[in-house]
Amino acid sequence: MKRFCLTRSTVAGILQKMEQNGYIEMQSYPGDARLKKIVLTEKGDEASDLVKEQIRRMERLLVKDMTADDIDCLFQLTQKIRENLIEDLECSIKNKCYEKKIIRRPIMIKKLMKSIREYKKDSLLSPAMVTLEVIMEVIIPMLMARLIDYGIQAQNLGYIWKMGILLAVTAMISLMFGVLSGKFAARASAGFAKNLRKDMYYNVQNFSFSNIDKFSTASIVTRLTTDVTNVQNAYQMIIRMAVRAPIMLVFSMFMAFQVNSEMAVIFLAAAPILGIGLYLIMTHAHPVFEKVFKTYDKLNNVVQENLHGIRVVKSYVREDHEIEKFEKNFHIDL
């Protein structure tokens, strides 16, 4: 297995396929039924002889009309080529990891968008409702200013009643748009998560042996549960908060300049400071999230092991050891 860089699960899968196709048989040892020996069937012997013959024919063809020194030189050259390729591959993985992430990011977003499907309507209605809600919320302070300036100070009771009713109607409309935006956002994000989880589940069924070795059971469980939930929450915030924040900023700045342009400059000057603060929070929080996400896989793996071997743990009174192992492996210094 080490020579061909294969793991035990890959070898087990290959042997299972060969047994299903009738090339080998699994026979138990007489003294210990837990041990299995692999025996070639008649069909397997024929395939083995055919493969060996093809290998010998290819070797004769490659070294045709070559001396022993030429063959030895060729062997050394191929070994050197192999070492160079392995070294270049390891350097590429280390030095171009970030570049690969940048290239794959748009592709990944495009793949994720395919899981929206029948929830595109809700995904578009939610930002529209958010926009209308923001417009209503920006109008309310303007109405309050007019109520104070032209109603209370002028002691105009009729104008006060008129603006009061208009304020109540505007607040109710804003509330209605807020409820609708939340409803559409929740439906779109939940449906998106449902489709994404379904697509990932069916994709797991088509995993190759290399993917099976790369992603453990605990890792796949994390992807289908915690990661999908995080993507769902992120998508809901995108179609609500990511739309609401810039629209609110634009409308608020416009209204502020309409009321008092000199005071509005203060808000305009505070925007870069807030942006720098958000950037610092994001840069410091991202490494913590990466550390936590990696821990999820270990957590699911240990929980799965304890559930499968719960009888063994209790029989040998290993509860304290398992608790100590859990605390030792999952203490994260944030």
Q: For 287-321, write each residue's pLDDT tens digit.
A: 887 777 777 777 777 777 777 777 777 777 777 87
Identify the burial level of 107 via C-beta atoms within 10 angstroms of its C-beta, where 0-12 means exposed, 13-18 middle and 19 or more buried: exposed
Chain segment 164-182, per-residue pLDDT in tens = 899 999 999 999 999 999 9
More confident residue, 127 or 70: 127
pLDDT at 334: 43
Rg (alpha carbons) of the chain, rounded to whole number:
33
Q: Which of 2-16, 113-127, 181-195, 305-319 has the lowest mean pLDDT?
A: 2-16
What does the pLDDT average to over 241-252? Answer: 87
pLDDT higher than 70, residue 5: no
More confident residue, 252 or 333: 252
CA distance 244 to 127: 8
What is the reported pTM?
A: 0.59
Token pair, residue 122, equals 């809700």
Helices 228-259/120-147 angle, 10° precision: 30
Q: Which amino acid is at 177?
A: F
CA distance 146 to 159: 10
Token pair, residue 201, equals 């589940």
Q: Which of 10-19, 140-149, 212-221 has the lowest mean pLDDT?
A: 212-221
Confidence grade of residue 235 (pLDDT, cut at 50, 70, 90): very high
40: β partners: 24
The residue with tokens 């179609």 is: 239
pLDDT higher than 50, residue 98: no
pLDDT at 100: 47
Answer for the pair 155, 271: CB distance below 8 angstroms, yes or no.
no
CA distance 123 to 127: 7
pLDDT at 333: 46
More confident residue, 71 or 34: 71
Chain segment 205-217, per-residue pLDDT in tens = 787 777 777 777 7
CA distance 164 to 175: 16
> How many CB atoms are closer than 10 A to CB 322?
15
List Cβ neighbours of 3 (8 Å cut-off, separation of 6 or more): none
Identify the burial level of 214 via C-beta atoms within 10 angstroms of its C-beta, where 0-12 means exposed, 13-18 middle and 19 or more buried: exposed
Answer for the pair 189, 123: CB distance below 8 angstroms, yes or no.
no
pLDDT at 331: 62
Q: Average pLDDT over the chain, rounded to whole?
A: 81
pLDDT at 126: 92
Helices 97-113/68-95 angle, 10° precision: 70
CA distance 91 to 89: 5
SS3 27: strand
Distance of CA 237 to the CA centre of its chain: 16
pLDDT at 94: 60
pLDDT at 102: 45
